Each structure stands twice: as structure tokens, then as C-alpha cells.
Amino acid sequence: MSAKVGVLGAGAWGTAVAKVIAEKGIDVDIWSHEKETAEDINLRHINSRYLPDVVLPENLRAYTDSAETADGKEFLILASPSLYLLDSVKKILSVPSIREGETAIGVITKGFIPTAKGPRLILETLEDYLPGFYRQSLVYIAGPSHAEEVSRGKITGLIAASESAKQSIHFRDLLKTNRLLVFSSFDVRGVQVAAASKNVIAIAFGMLDALKTSAAERGMEDIFGDGTESLLLAAGLNEIQTLGRAMGATHPETFTSISGVGDLDVTCRSIFGRNRRFGREIIEKDILKPYSSLDDLITRISEVGYLPEGVVAAKYVKMLAEQHNLKMPISLGLYRILNREITPLEFLHAFIKDLG
């Protein structure tokens, strides 16, 4: 397959996806907002900050100008974090191939986008800014995956969701290898909701996991086990599906397939999960102590040293649950923890009591 491909976002996931494509013999340009990361990729063929110890192909080149990276590409993959995604897109609107709709666009960012209308799904928000060519033709790519594993050739499955079957197939063919399996879906809204809201559940799972493994040494009653974690995971999946239906998901099987239960499971249980890690550090390191509220935490999120997307998503899931009048005790409980209203133990006991 011969194509020109651009990736906007040189974080771990953007770099991993770019590597997979480049290893197929396709030239890939990747944009980094950090000059040091771009130099690292171009001179040493590694991304030591976001994806250390992974050697990158020489036909993967890095740039610090997003418009230059996007210009003239057949495919463009958006990989900036949700907090910055819209700003990234605004900077490429004048690129000729984007302005004329000549570049197919896929998105691998997970989360919601804040707007004057409240939190919205990524694709519908981008459609309001991109030229009309892109309406109903953007492709959303998600699934149970970690950059650390995909970049090392571990077998992984992804979903390419789009209202355009043609575009979904194009991105499926671009990404798939004998170790990266890609499936198509028409349930664009359901896949996006699952990808964004599972990060919220994963933070709660990380807290429970830390409590389960350290109860005795913390002088606590040893009441949390593997079954408790499965209880939380199942209840969390129910909340994701509840929100998905309210936001227009079209296929129930979305939530019982890899983009639903698969993505939730790996995000909660994998050692690579940043949201699980953040949840554990709430217990183990009292990482919330310096922050007065969730908004304060989001404003100063760079101080954490990594980006747990579930922190931002927790704020928006709460707003959406209230907007749609949904009962989502895990998500709303986590919001209250991050907002410094209750402690993790108070939340867990209230959650278990609510289930009973």
C-alpha cells in the first residue's frame, strides 16, 4: 500500500500507531509540539519521553509545524489529547488538502470536548469546524490497546467506526497487520462514548486495586478481593452502556465487544493504564492532596507527570449524566472524590451499599 500519512500528536499512542504504519513501508510524518521530542525521533529514532526503548523506523519523520505535517497527506490521524484536540484541528483548517477535503481523517483521541453547548463527542465537534466534505466521513479508531504493546508487536484488536463504510475500510486497510486486527463499525457514537467513559471507571478500579493489595498494612479490614473488582468492572460497564444509549449509540453489541468490555477490561487491569495508575496513586501517594478541586487538578494536570484522561472525562461524564438524568453512581462518586468532596473509602462503602 502506497500512501502519504500524517499523525498529529507524538505522544505514546500517536507514536505507536505511526510506527505500525511506517513498518508497512509507508512514509509517515508525525507532529510534535515539543522540539526535543521531534529531534529525538529524527536523530535517534526513538521517542524517549513517551515511548522509551522502542526503535522507530527511519521513514517516520517528525515535525514541529502541524500544518506542514498535515499538508498533502492522503490520510491524517489526529492523536492530540482531548484537552488540546480542537486547538490542533483549528491550526490545520487552512491546509489546502484539508480545505478541499482531499485528506481522509481518522481520530484516535479518547475523551469528550468541552464546548459552549456543554461536553460533546469528538467527531460531531470536529465536523462543526472542518469543511463540509468531512461530515459523516470521519473515522473514529479505538479498542483495547496500549501503545507499549502495539509498538512491540503484541496482538491487538481495534475498531474503525464511521458513518462511511468506505472510509472505515480505508483506515482498516491502512492500520491492519498480521498482529493488529482492525474491524469496522457503524456505531460511531457508541464507540466514542465507550472509549471516553471507560477511563473514568479505570480510575475507580485503580483505587480499589490499591486498597485490595494494601488493606492490612493500612490497618483496614481486608474486605476487597478479585470478586469486588469484577463487581466494579461489571457495574462500570453498565454505566458506560447507559450513557451510550442516552447519547445515541445504535448497536447494543458495541458494549459487549472489544470497544466496550474489551477496552474497559484492559484499561482497568493493565499495568500500562495511566488511569488505573492514577487511581492507585490516589491511595498510595495521596496524589490529590495538593489540589483543592477537580477544576484545580485539571488546570494543573501537567504537574502529575502523565495525562490520565479519565480525570477530565469525569467532569464531563457528570455533566452528561445530569443532563440526561442518568443514575451513574461510580462515575458520579469518582467525580466527588476528584473534587475533594468525599474520600475513596466513603465512596466504596456507599457504592456497595447502593448496590445492595
Query: Which residues participate in catalysis according to the annotation?
Result: 198
Enumerate the known binding-site residues for NADPH: 13, 33, 50, 110, 147, 274, 307, 309
- The DSSP annotation for 146-212 comes to -HHHHTTT--EEEEEE-S-HHHHHHHHHHH--SSEEEEEES-HHHHHHHHHHHHHHHHHHHHHHHHH
Enumerate the known binding-site residues for NAD(+): 9-14, 147, 274
Residue 301, amino acid = I
**Contact assessment for residue 287 and residue 303, using Cβ atoms and an 8 Å cutoff:** no
- Edge-to-edge order in the sheet of strand 75-78: 60-63, 27-31, 4-8, 75-78, 104-107, 139-142, 156-161, 180-185
Task: Determine phi and psi for 27, rounding to 5 degrees.
Answer: -70, 130
Enumerate the known binding-site residues for sn-glycerol 3-phosphate: 110, 143, 145, 198, 263, 274-275
Q: State the greatest distance between any 2 C-alpha atoms of the chain, in Å, as a whole number.
A: 64
Under DSSP, is residue 47 helix (H, G, I), strand (E, B) or coil?
strand
- Residue 61 is placed in which grid cell? 519523520
Under DSSP, is residue 142 helix (H, G, I), strand (E, B) or coil?
strand
Name the nearest CA neighbour of 146 among 52, 273, 49.
273
Q: Name the one residue in this structure whose C-alpha cell is 459523516.
A: 136
State the Rg of the chain over Cα.
20
Enumerate the known binding-site residues: 9-14, 33, 50, 110, 143, 145, 147, 198, 263, 274-275, 307, 309
